[in-house]
Structure 1
Amino acid sequence: MPRLIVFLSFILPAIAADALLSPATPYLDVRTADWQYARATAGATRPTDAKAISAWQPIRMGKRWDELGYPAMKFEEVWLRLRFQLAPELAGRKVGFFATLIDDESDIYVNGLAAGKTAAHLGYALPEPSADLDLTPFVRFGEPNELLILLRDKYVRSPGLVGSVGLYQTLPFTRTPAGGLSVASSAAGPWSVLLHTGAALLARQGRTSFTAGELASLELPPYALRTDELILIAPAATAPQPPHRVELTHIHSTTQSARLEISARALPASVGRYELLTVPVTLGATFTNPFDPKQVNIQAVVATPSGKVDRVFAFFQQEFTPVSLNSEEEILLPAPGPAWKVYYRPRELGRHSVELFAHDRTGVRKCTAGTFESVASAQPGYLKISSSDPRFFEYSNGDSFFGIGPSGWLRGPNYIFGGNPRWVPLAMMDAFYARKAAQRSNYEYIGTFHYGRMLTRGGFLDQHIAWKLERTLRIMERHGIRWLFFHDDMRRYYRYGFESLPYSIAQGGPAVEIGEYYINEEAVRWQKNQLRHIVSRMADSPSIWVWNIGDEWRDQPGNKLSVPLVRSWMKDLHEYVRGIDIYQHPHAIGEGDEAMLNGGDVLPVEGWYLNHPPHKNNDWRQGRMYDLVDHVQQQLGQHAQARYPIIDVEGGMFGWNSGIYQSGKPWGYPEGLTLHQHLWLSLFWKSAAGGTEWQVNVLDNDNQMFHAKAFARYLDGESLTKTRWDRAAVKTSQPGLNAWALQTSGKTLGWILNRSWNWLNLVQGQGSSTITGATVQLPVATDGRYRIELWDTFTGTILSTAEATSANGALALSLPPVEKDLAVKCIRQQAPLAQRRSPSWR
Structure 2
Amino acid sequence: MLAAVLAIASISQAALEIKNLAVSPDAAIRLERVEISFDLAGSFKNPFDPREIDVMATVEGPGGTVAEVPGFFAFPGWKIAFAPWTGGNFYVSISCTDRIARLDYKKFQIEVAPLRKNSKWPAGFLETKKNKKYFSIGGKGLFVVAREGTLPDRANTLLFQLGGSYPTEGPIGNYRLDQFDGIDKNLASAKEERTYTLLCLGAGRDLTGEGWKGNPYNKVNGGPCETPEDFWTNLQARVYFKKWLRYLLARTNAHWSMGGVLLWRDKSAPNYWLEEMADEVYALHPYSIPIISPIEGPFQASAKVNTLSLPSGNSVTYKLPLLTIASEVRGLYRALVQGAAGAISPVLATRSFAERGSARPFSEFAERYDLLKRSFESKPMVTGADCKGWALIDSRGGPVYVEANDAEALAGTAKLAVRSGGDYKITWIDPFTGVKIGEGVAKAAQGALVIAYPAFADGLAGHLEKSN
Aligned mate of 1:743, from 354, 373, 393? 393
Cα deviation, 1:731-778, whole Å, max 9, x if unaligned, reads 64877764423234644333345xxx313xx4xxxx64654xx56233
Q: Distance in 2 between matches of 1:594 and 1:517?
A: 17
**Structure 2: unaligned runs, 5 residues or longer:** none
Contact 1:433 1:476 in 2 (8 A): no
Q: Distance in 1 between matches of 2:461 and 2:417?
A: 12
Which residue matches 1:123? none
What secondary structure, in the 3-state scheme, does the structure 2 residue paired with 1:579 have? helix
Q: Does 1:815 align with 2:451?
A: yes
Contact 2:425 2:441 in 1 (8 A): yes
Which residue matches 2:307? 602
Q: Distance in 2 between matches of 1:381 and 1:822?
A: 28
Q: Distance in 2 between matches of 1:645 and 1:365?
A: 44
Question: Judging changes above 3 Å, is the alpha-carbon distance between structure 1 residues 826 and 519 closer, same or farther for their aligned structure 2 residues?
Answer: same
Q: Distance in 2 between matches of 1:481 and 1:382?
A: 11
What secondary structure, in the 3-state scheme, does the structure 2 residue paired with 1:343 have? strand
Which residue matches 1:179? none
Q: Distance in 1 between matches of 2:213 and 2:453?
A: 64
Larger CA deviation: 371-380 vs 270-279: 371-380
Q: CA deviation at 1:316?
A: 1.2
Normalising by structure 1, we get a TM-score of 0.48
Aligned mate of 2:331, from 660, 678, 689? 678
Contact 2:402 2:461 in 1 (8 A): yes
Which residue matches 1:520? 234
**Structure 1: unaligned runs, 5 residues or longer:** 1-222, 226-247, 319-336, 411-428, 435-442, 557-565, 607-631, 651-674, 833-842
Q: Distance in 2 between matches of 1:463 and 1:301?
A: 25
Q: Does 1:381 align with 2:85?
A: no
What secondary structure, in the 3-state scheme, does the structure 1 residue paired with 2:2 have? coil
- Counting aligned pairs with the same residue, the percent is 16
Contact 2:168 2:216 in 1 (8 A): no
Contact 1:788 1:824 in 2 (8 A): no
Q: Distance in 2 between matches of 1:587 and 1:391?
A: 14
Q: Distance in 2 between matches of 1:296 and 1:784?
A: 70
Q: CA deviation at 1:550?
A: 2.3
Contact 1:711 1:793 in 2 (8 A): no
Q: CA deviation at 1:277?
A: 1.4
Which residue matches 1:776? 415
Which residue matches 2:357? 705
Contact 2:163 2:200 in 1 (8 A): no
Aligned mate of 1:463, from 142, 160, 177? 177
Which residue matches 1:298? 55
Contact 1:304 1:348 in 2 (8 A): yes
Indicate the structure whose relative CO is greater, using CA pairs within 8 Å and at least 6 residues apart: 2
Q: Write the letter of the residue equivalent to 2:428.
A: W
Which residue matches 1:284? 41
Q: Distance in 2 between matches of 1:827 and 1:497?
A: 52
Q: Does 1:530 align with 2:244?
A: yes
Q: Write the letter of the residue equivalent to 1:299.
A: M
Q: Distance in 2 between matches of 1:430 and 1:300?
A: 39
Contact 1:404 1:679 in 2 (8 A): no
Question: Judging changes above 3 Å, is the alpha-carbon distance between structure 1 residues 779 and 594 closer, same or farther for their aligned structure 2 residues?
Answer: farther
Q: Distance in 2 between matches of 1:522 and 1:549?
A: 19
Q: Distance in 2 between matches of 1:285 and 1:505?
A: 31
Contact 1:571 1:589 in 2 (8 A): no
What secondary structure, in the 3-state scheme, does the structure 2 residue paired with 1:799 have? strand
Cα deviation, 1:363-383, whole Å, max 9, x if unaligned, reads 422112410111123345334
Contact 2:82 2:253 in 1 (8 A): no
Contact 2:9 2:46 in 1 (8 A): no
What secondary structure, in the 3-state scheme, does the structure 2 residue paired with 1:576 have? helix
Q: Write the letter of the residue equivalent to 2:426.
A: E
Q: CA deviation at 1:826?
A: 3.9
Which residue matches 1:714? 365
Contact 2:428 2:460 in 1 (8 A): yes
Contact 2:135 2:346 in 1 (8 A): no
Q: CA deviation at 1:535?
A: 0.3
Q: Distance in 2 between matches of 1:532 and 1:282?
A: 20
Aligned mate of 1:568, from 260, 269, 272? 272
Q: Distance in 1 between matches of 2:133 and 2:38?
A: 41
Equivalenced residues, count: 454
Contact 2:292 2:308 in 1 (8 A): yes
Contact 1:270 1:375 in 2 (8 A): yes
Question: Judging changes above 3 Å, is the alpha-carbon distance between structure 1 residues 825 and 474 closer, same or farther for their aligned structure 2 residues?
Answer: closer
What secondary structure, in the 3-state scheme, does the structure 2 residue paired with 1:715 have? helix
Aligned CA RMSD, in angstroms, stands at: 3.8
Question: Judging changes above 3 Å, is the alpha-carbon distance between structure 1 residues 310 and 403 closer, same or farther for their aligned structure 2 residues?
Answer: same
Q: Distance in 2 between matches of 1:793 and 1:536?
A: 40
Question: Judging changes above 3 Å, is the alpha-carbon distance between structure 1 residues 775 and 470 closer, same or farther for their aligned structure 2 residues?
Answer: closer
Q: Write the letter of the residue equivalent to 2:465.
A: I
What secondary structure, in the 3-state scheme, does the structure 1 residue paired with 2:180 have? helix
What secondary structure, in the 3-state scheme, does the structure 2 residue paired with 1:447 have? coil
What secondary structure, in the 3-state scheme, does the structure 2 residue paired with 1:262 have? strand
What secondary structure, in the 3-state scheme, does the structure 2 residue paired with 1:291 have? coil
Question: Judging changes above 3 Å, is the alpha-carbon distance between structure 1 residues 738 and 482 closer, same or farther for their aligned structure 2 residues?
Answer: same
Which residue matches 2:261? 547
Q: Distance in 1 between matches of 2:260 and 2:438?
A: 37
Q: Distance in 2 between matches of 1:738 and 1:727?
A: 17
Q: CA deviation at 1:539?
A: 1.7
Aligned mate of 2:85, from 347, 363, 378? 347
Q: CA deviation at 1:523?
A: 1.3
Which residue matches 1:758? 405
Q: Distance in 2 between matches of 1:712 and 1:500?
A: 38
Which residue matches 2:322? 645
Cα deviation, 1:171-225, whole Å, max 9, x if unaligned, reads xxxxxxxxxxxxxxxxxxxxxxxxxxxxxxxxxxxxxxxxxxxxxxxxxxxx735
Q: Write the letter of the residue equivalent to 1:814.
A: V
Q: Give the number of the structure whose alpha-carbon radius of gyration is greater.
A: 1
Cα deviation, 1:632-679, whole Å, max 9, x if unaligned, reads 63xx23x256662233254xxxxxxxxxxxxxxxxxxxxxxxx45423
Q: Does 1:272 align with 2:29?
A: yes
Which residue matches 2:291? 587
